[in-house]
Chain A
Amino acid sequence: MSTETTKTVFEYAPAPESRAVVDIKASYGLFVNGEHVEGRGTPFKTVNPATEEVLAEVAEADEADIDAAVKAARRAYEKVWGPMPGKERAKYLYRIARIIQERSRELAVLETIDNGKPIKESRDVDVPTVAAHFFYYAGWADKLEFSGYGTTPLGVAGQVIPWNFPLLMLAWKVAPALACGNTVVLKPAETTPLTALLFAEICQQADLPPGVVNIVTGAGRTGQALVSHPGVDKVAFTGSTDVGKAIARAVAGTDKKVTLELGGKAANIVFDDAPLDQAVEGIVNGIFFNQGHVCCAGSRLLVQESIADDLLARLKRRMSTLRVGDPLDKNTDIGAINSAEQLARIRELSAIGEAEGSERWSPACDLPTTGYWFPPTLFTGVSQAHRIAREEIFGPVLSVLTFRTPSEAVEKANNTPYGLSAGVWSDKGSLILKIAAELRAGVVWANTFNKFDPTSPFGGFKESGYGREGGRHGLEAYLKGADQ
């Protein structure tokens, strides 16, 4: 196998998805007690990261707004949602799942415009999984006595979600909370609030009782006010490990139940007997899916030394065929970086990678001149001490390390404070099972990567947080437990 990269050239005509299906308002308020209301903070703008076009002005919730939302959620919990039989709650959740399916194209286009992710992904991964998540948890609402976690809800859940999968993270938070009989106050990320606000409309169409779902927009301060509010019984957060630690400190000494789904620096381990073309697809999916804005991204490639040259040649050739550009184009593989701030972080860490002596490589690709863009990038000659091997970059940047023996692979893979996910590629079943058992990570993908399903628990070991989302296990976060 030649190490020279040969580019297979296909010319693609532009195939843009129509924006006509979405109707973005000039400004948005908060969604409290079933109504859209003004916020009392300082409004902020949300931007299309592919064009830098301002999409809308969005209200900022201050402490008084948070208080009103928590009170609305409390009333709804005590008067309506808590006492409602599970089978009736289920029907509301089924309605929501169906409306998401009915409005799926609109949600996908809006997600892509606000977030920058390729329409191919929002249309085929995010939105279908969102509907599936509501459908799955709807069915649990009247079956909680079989869950193993009791049937008693916690009360009001304060939920703070990130910008990388805005609607999907909303579903992961809202669906199990509601199924268990809790009400929620949810804060979407400040750079991607629009699909959550559209979800508020979906709740109205479903005639969900007022106050069961409340949506408060804003940045870190708004989130802090929400998780610290004494009326919140449960805190659920997905985002950075630093903020997760701050939340763990903030809830110390209270009775609040907490789940945290935080950062990662996943190892993707390729053994010499792996199916290499399949592995290359998995590596690409692992780090370039969603621009690498994925907490469980396979950002450290650990490749067995004997096949490293061969694998890298194949990987570079495959990377050369990735199409970076207009997220609304149906042929786009890699969309826009979500924000100027995130782009600066990716650039900074990549520069540090070079400065520390790693070799940087990207395929030739023409990036648009406006918007926030970063080419798919890999670094070779990376040591475990390099910052690009230790810190979460949260972008399309892959660090490549090598190993000789399975035990060396495991040692390197586990040499991180994180423990969210890992990948292992081999044709030998007994080796896969051994490595999977030794990896300290909450999700292990063997001969696949970045697969998600509503029935499958997701969450980390160590500093990647605690608690699980998805599956039967995901109910535990929203119930008092069989013994309490």
Chain B
Amino acid sequence: MSNRIDVRKTYKLYIGGAFPRSESGRSYEVLDPKGRFLANASLASRKDARDAVVAARKAFGGWSGRTSYNRAQVVYRIAEVLESRRAQLEQELRDSEGVSASKARDYVDLAVDRLVWYAGWADKLTQVVGNANPVAGPFFNLSTPEPSGVIAVIAPKGPLLGLVSVLAPVIVTGNTAVVVASEEHPLPAITLAEIMATADVPGGVVNILTGTRAELAPGLAAHMDVNGIDLTGIDDPALALSLEQAAADNLKRVRRPAAEDLLATPSLSRMTAFLETKTVWHPIGV
């Protein structure tokens, strides 16, 4: 058996629950820190990004309409499946980033724990950020958070913990996401996509594109059917500026890039950035 040739995996995109290649037929070489070939990743095009937005929009009604308890279980399930495939991800982190075995283990630990943390918020956030309002009149009046819609996420360089930290808070509240994975380290993102596809995440709730930020981000920032954009992964101030300007065309909710310690316990801000407050009134006694 020692002469057996291993079966390598083609890394593809994740759109609408399926794993297509880029419609452009392009790919790019992913290298390890020493410059050795790891794999060819799909080089997503602007058309792929538009297809991903269509898939995310299609999935929004169903996903946002699920009960919070159900969304909590789905996100928790991602953590479960990730834990079960941790050996593969640890190896991929070591290959792509060149980190030590113990560091890779730490990152996977944190990514799993972060998913568990966010999963639990699904059915609690409404109680923490919503409230009844004591209006001066005979009215029932209640404010509750609702998801903003389709959110474009430009993920940071960290291939697993970075991705999980920006993706989980977006989807746990009922948004759907189009993610531009770490350009430098795209392979773990596609493995995470495979995990989500087997963790009962409905097709289209998460869509993952591999490719370049410079090519993909401007189209997403300008897309009129995207409701919000997280610019965390943009480290070029000029690009961040032009993306925020483009996002103004339909008044996307924008999370600007800012320094952040991904090892620390998150705040609520990544969830509340892409939530709307809806206030419902009804007369009492009439």
* Residues of chain A at the chain B interface (Cβ within 8 Å): 132, 148, 241, 244-246, 248-249, 252-253, 260, 262, 278, 417, 419, 432, 436, 440-448, 451, 453, 455-459, 461-463, 465-466, 468, 471-473, 481-484
Contact = CB atoms under 8 A, between A and B. Distances in A.
Contacts of B139: 448, 451, 453
Given A444-B281, A453-B135, A456-B133, A473 B250 contact: no
B141 A461 contact: no
A456 B135 contact: yes
Interface in B189-213: none
Given A252-B245, A483-B268, A462 B133 contact: no
Contacts of B135: 451, 453, 455-456
Contacts of A483: 267-269
A241 B135 CA distance: 28
Interface residues of B, number: 38
Interface stretch (B30-38, B75-83, B177-185, B236-244): B236-244
Given A248-B247, A453-B137, A443 B281 contact: yes
B251 A463 contact: yes
Contacts of B245: 249, 252-253
A466 B276 CA distance: 8
B138 to A, nearest CB: 10
A466 B277 contact: no
A466 B275 CA distance: 10
17 contacts: A248-B244, A248-B251, A249-B248, A252-B247, A253-B245, A432-B282, A442-B277, A442-B278, A442-B279, A443-B280, A447-B286, A448-B281, A453-B137, A455-B141, A456-B141, A461-B278, A482-B268
B141 to A, nearest CB: 5
Interface in B253-286: 253, 267-269, 276-283, 286
A249 B253 CA distance: 12
A245 B253 CA distance: 12
Contacts of A457: 133, 143, 277, 279
Interface in B142-198: 143, 146, 148-149
A132 B241 contact: no
Nearest to B129: A148
Interface of B: 128-129, 131, 133-137, 139, 141, 143, 146, 148-149, 227, 237, 240-241, 244-245, 247-251, 253, 267-269, 276-283, 286
Contact of A459 (B227, B249, B277): B277
Contacts of A246: 248
Given A278-B286, A436-B278, A483-B268, 17 more contacts: A245-B248, A253-B241, A443-B278, A444-B279, A446-B280, A448-B281, A451-B135, A453-B133, A453-B139, A453-B141, A455-B134, A456-B141, A458-B279, A462-B149, A462-B250, A471-B133, A482-B268
Given A448-B139, A462-B227, A482 B267 contact: yes
B244 A260 contact: no
Nearest to A421: B279
Contacts of B251: 241, 244-245, 248, 260, 262, 462-463, 465-466
A451 B137 contact: yes
Contact of B277 (A440, A462, A468, A484): A468
Q: Which 8 A-B pairs have the closest CB atoms?
A: A483-B267, A248-B248, A252-B244, A253-B241, A453-B135, A249-B248, A446-B282, A455-B133
A466 to B, nearest CB: 6
Contacts of B149: 440, 462
Contacts of A253: 237, 240-241, 244-245
B141 A442 contact: no
B133 A417 contact: no
A110 B267 CA distance: 47
Nearest to B61: A438
Contacts of B146: 461
Given A245-B248, A262-B251, A483-B268, A252 B241 contact: yes
A182 to B, nearest CB: 20
